[in-house]
Chains A and B, each alone.
Chain A
Amino acid sequence: MNDPVVEIRGLAKSYRRGGQIVPVLEALDLDIGAGDFIALMGPSGSGKSTLLNIIAGIDKPDRGTLRVNGTEIVRLREAELARWRAQHIGFIFQFYNLMPVLTAAENVELPLLLTPLGRGDRRRRAELALSMVGLADRMTHYPSELSGGQQQRVAIARAIITDPTLIVADEPTGDLDRVAAGEILDLMVRLNAEAGKTIIMVTHDQRAAERARSVVHLEKGMIRTETDAP
């Protein structure tokens, strides 16, 4: 493994449900190397989405440490964490989560509003990112005018536009048919192989997991196996 970009030690998280404390993650250790493409798998309730959310800095663990690129993010205050996410994390969601009132180019440009870039630079980068995902001709289309696969490609363009340290994807093919899912996975593999992006992907889909470099199986909040994909 390359130098770990994500170092997780003793991570624990539990939820309170109807007066009962339900443990989700228990004393979890995990390293993810730079340039890795990891699929997180496991049954429902195994804690894979919670782990992804904590790594992405949108949820907090109860215990344990989490260093991303040398930064201990558990200790960051909310506003610092938001700035950190804007710089270091690219998100891909199951349902694309595009802003319906913004065009493809405007959606992609959105994370750049949090940078000091000027309007012209932002627009140029958005165009570049959209052409990288093969949607150069759909700049001015609204999400409702695009297919599911195209919307997810816009979301990927949005995820890569700030050149983040990590791309986190939560069931990126969960809402797509086989063909579109295949295209999205091709794109992610290319981002990993050609652009060297580190990707963490939660998935239920065995075929999706096979496209990753390695697979981490979670069960009852603990890592059961780590295997390198064929």
Chain B
Amino acid sequence: MPLPLSYNVRNLWARKLTTALTAGGMALVVFVFATVLMLEQGLRDTLVGTGSYDNALVIRRAAGTEVQSTVDRAQANVVESRPEVALGPDGAPLVSKEVVVLISLDKRGSGGPSNVVIRGVGPAALTLRPQVRIVEGRTFRPGSSEIIVGRGIAERFQGTSLGQRMKFGMREWTVVGLFDAGGSGFDSEIWGDSDQMMQAFRRTMFSSVVLRLNDTTAFPRLEDALESDPRLTVEAKREAVFYAEQSETLARFIRILGLTLSVIFSIGAVIGAMITMYASVANRTAEIGTLRALGFQRGSILTAFLVEAVALGLAGGVVGVAAASAMQLVTISTMNWQSFSEIAFSFRLTPGITVASLGFAATMGLVGGVLPAARAARLAIVDALRAA
């Protein structure tokens, strides 16, 4: 028969300061653990949310990223004329031939420069990306030096507010609109007319061609057709898959770095829990002897101290996850080394991350509690009672 749970919880409560300090140490570790997973999740959500599953993105074979890709006009026209491409209400194919250029802009606050994606887009770009909505001003006029700016850019970079003029590509551009891309990667981009951008940056080739599939199951056919066409040196990917791949390197880096740190910190927290639990066993030696004398088995004593250690860990876990959940209010930006551009994203707490974090906390408590609990269970009754 196990001792009642209230016995364990009250013992933790009885030593409030020690419990709070030990659980606090664990909470810090859980906080790091949870925020790292939340960061990775936020990054994945941002980049995966950037692409649509019904769109296909065509880039030069083996280019990997849009920045490294070139698609000449002839090839772009071949892609545009494929029968798998959906047509708009006006009968024109839903295709955006785009050029992607990186420029350096100064950040607000720190003033330090960072890379920003300039995307020259075709007229169908907004139709192809329904998540992109103009929230202030209007969209740019084709053939003009007008640009629209993602909300993430407007918040973080100097000179990018509505109505301001920006100098790049040997021209002056006017910001005529701000757009919200629903937290996707497009929020960290500046868009303008594709032909104007190509002239300004002296490009003769597009970076990518984005198209809407007339039927989502048409993708394999399109892929085969493009890759087997001898005139073409391009490959097609579903837009969603392309952006998911873009997040892979950075997400993996954050994950490995964060989890390595968490594991190293957790060793400290486990030792803290172990010291606390050893002290608890030492303080309660006579109590343990009494319980054994009353007829409680070694297993009950072992379980009681393990439950107490796990409860200690969980207390830290709850505090850590609660603190981490507050991080959801924070948006951070960092360089995505795969696209060489600045990307803004948030921490995302999911039920899976909550469960993983609490599991991690409980495990720390359990590991810290094993040796002290085993010591408590091994005490000889007579020796333990003599400690009174």
Residues A85 and B295 in contact in the complex (CB < 8 Å), given A58-B382, A91-B290: yes
Give the contact-size bracket for chain A: 20 to 34
List B contacts of A91 (CB < 8 A). Answer: 290, 293-294
In the complex, chain A residues 78-96 whose Cβ is within 8 Å of any chain B Cβ: 78-79, 82-83, 85-87, 89, 91, 93-95
> Looking at the complex, which one of B3, B14, B298, B385 makes contact with A58 (CB distance below 8 Å)?
B385
User: Does B381 have its Cβ within 8 Å of any Cβ on chain A?
Assistant: yes
Of the listed stretches B4-12, B136-144, B164-172, B231-239, chain A binds B4-12
Distance in angstroms between the alpha carbons of A111 and B3 in the assembled complex: 10
Q: Is the CB of B294 within 8 A of A85?
A: yes
Q: Is the CB of A111 within 8 A of B286?
A: no
List A contacts of B381 (CB < 8 A). Answer: 58-59
Interface centre among B3, B286, B287, B382 (most CB of A within 10 A): B382
List B contacts of A78 (CB < 8 A). Answer: 298
Closest Cβ–Cβ distance, residue B270 to chain A (whole Å) = 25
Q: Select from chain B the residue with minimum beta-carbon distance to A99.
A: B287
**Binary B-proximity of A15-37 (CB < 8 A = 1, otherwise 0):** 00000000000000000000000
Residues A82 and B388 in contact in the complex (CB < 8 Å), given A93-B290, A95-B286, A101-B10: no
User: Does B331 have its Cβ within 8 Å of any Cβ on chain A?
Assistant: no
User: Does A139 have its Cβ within 8 Å of any Cβ on chain B?
Assistant: no
Kindly count the residue-residue contacts between A and B in the assembled complex, taking CB atoms under 8 Å apart: 63
> Looking at the complex, which one of B286, B291, B295, B382 makes contact with A53 (CB distance below 8 Å)?
B382
Distance in angstroms between the alpha carbons of A71 and B388 in the assembled complex: 30
List A contacts of B14 (CB < 8 A). Answer: 100-101
List A contacts of B291 (CB < 8 A). Answer: 99, 110
Q: Is the CB of B293 within 8 A of A56?
A: yes
Distance in angstroms between the alpha carbons of A53 and B3 in the assembled complex: 24
User: Does B297 have its Cβ within 8 Å of any Cβ on chain A?
Assistant: yes
User: Does B1 have its Cβ within 8 Å of any Cβ on chain A?
Assistant: yes
**Binary A-proximity of B220-247 (CB < 8 A = 1, otherwise 0):** 0000000000000000000000000000
Distance in angstroms between the alpha carbons of A78 and B294 in the assembled complex: 13
Q: Select from chain A the residue with minimum beta-carbon distance to B9.
A: A101
Q: Is the CB of A82 within 8 A of B297?
A: yes
> Looking at the complex, which one of A58, A79, A93, A101 makes contact with B7 (CB distance below 8 Å)?
A101
**Binary A-proximity of B285-314 (CB < 8 A = 1, otherwise 0):** 011011111111110000000000000000
Q: Is the CB of B382 within 8 A of A82?
A: no
In the complex, chain A residues 44-98 whose Cβ is within 8 Å of any chain B Cβ: 53, 56, 58-59, 78-79, 82-83, 85-87, 89, 91, 93-95, 97
Distance in angstroms between the alpha carbons of A91 and B4 in the assembled complex: 21
Distance in angstroms between the alpha carbons of A83 and B298 in the assembled complex: 12
User: Does A195 have its Cβ within 8 Å of any Cβ on chain B?
Assistant: no
Q: Is the CB of B294 within 8 A of A110?
A: yes
Q: Is the CB of A99 within 8 A of B7?
A: yes
User: Does A146 have its Cβ within 8 Å of any Cβ on chain B?
Assistant: no
Closest Cβ–Cβ distance, residue B11 to chain A (whole Å) = 5
List A contacts of B382 (CB < 8 A). Answer: 53, 58-59
List B contacts of A87 (CB < 8 A). Answer: 295
Residues A93 and B385 in contact in the complex (CB < 8 Å), given A101-B11, A113-B1, A113-B3: yes
| Interface residues contributed by chain B, number (CB under 8 Å) | 24
Distance in angstroms between the alpha carbons of A85 and B297 in the assembled complex: 11
Distance in angstroms between the alpha carbons of A82 and B287 in the assembled complex: 16
Q: Is the CB of B286 within 8 A of A114?
A: no
Q: Is the CB of B388 within 8 A of A95?
A: yes
User: Does A180 have its Cβ within 8 Å of any Cβ on chain B?
Assistant: no
Distance in angstroms between the alpha carbons of A102 and B6 in the assembled complex: 9
Q: Select from chain A the residue with minimum beta-carbon distance to B11.
A: A101
Residues A94 and B296 in contact in the complex (CB < 8 Å), given A58-B381, A101-B11: no
Q: Is the CB of A102 within 8 A of B10?
A: yes
> Looking at the complex, which one of A53, A79, A94, A114 makes contact with B294 (CB distance below 8 Å)?
A114
Q: Select from chain B the residue with minimum beta-carbon distance to A144.
A: B14
Closest Cβ–Cβ distance, residue A217 to chain B (whole Å) = 23
Closest Cβ–Cβ distance, residue B234 to chain A (whole Å) = 72
Q: Is the CB of B388 within 8 A of A93?
A: yes
In the complex, chain B residues 243-264 whose Cβ is within 8 Å of any chain A Cβ: none
List B contacts of A89 (CB < 8 A). Answer: 293
Distance in angstroms between the alpha carbons of A56 and B294 in the assembled complex: 10
Q: Select from chain A the residue with minimum beta-carbon distance to B8.
A: A101
Distance in angstroms between the alpha carbons of A95 and B388 in the assembled complex: 7
Q: Is the CB of B295 within 8 A of A111?
A: yes
Distance in angstroms between the alpha carbons of A99 and B1 in the assembled complex: 17
Residues A58 and B293 in contact in the complex (CB < 8 Å), given A53-B382, A113-B4: yes
Closest Cβ–Cβ distance, residue B123 to chain A (whole Å) = 73
**Binary A-proximity of B372-388 (CB < 8 A = 1, otherwise 0):** 00000000011001001
Closest Cβ–Cβ distance, residue B217 to chain A (whole Å) = 62
Q: Is the CB of A85 within 8 A of B293?
A: yes
List A contacts of B287 (CB < 8 A). Answer: 97, 99-100
List B contacts of A101 (CB < 8 A). Answer: 7, 10-11, 13-14
8 closest Cβ contacts across the A-B interface?
A86-B295, A101-B10, A97-B290, A58-B381, A95-B388, A85-B295, A114-B295, A59-B382
6 further interface pairs, Cβ-Cβ under 8 Å (given A58-B382, A94-B388): A78-B298, A91-B294, A95-B388, A99-B287, A113-B4, A114-B295
Q: Would you give 21 A-B contacts (Cβ < 8 Å), ordered by A? A: A58-B293, A58-B381, A82-B292, A82-B295, A83-B295, A89-B293, A91-B293, A91-B294, A95-B388, A97-B286, A97-B287, A97-B289, A100-B14, A101-B7, A101-B13, A110-B291, A111-B295, A114-B1, A114-B294, A114-B295, A158-B294
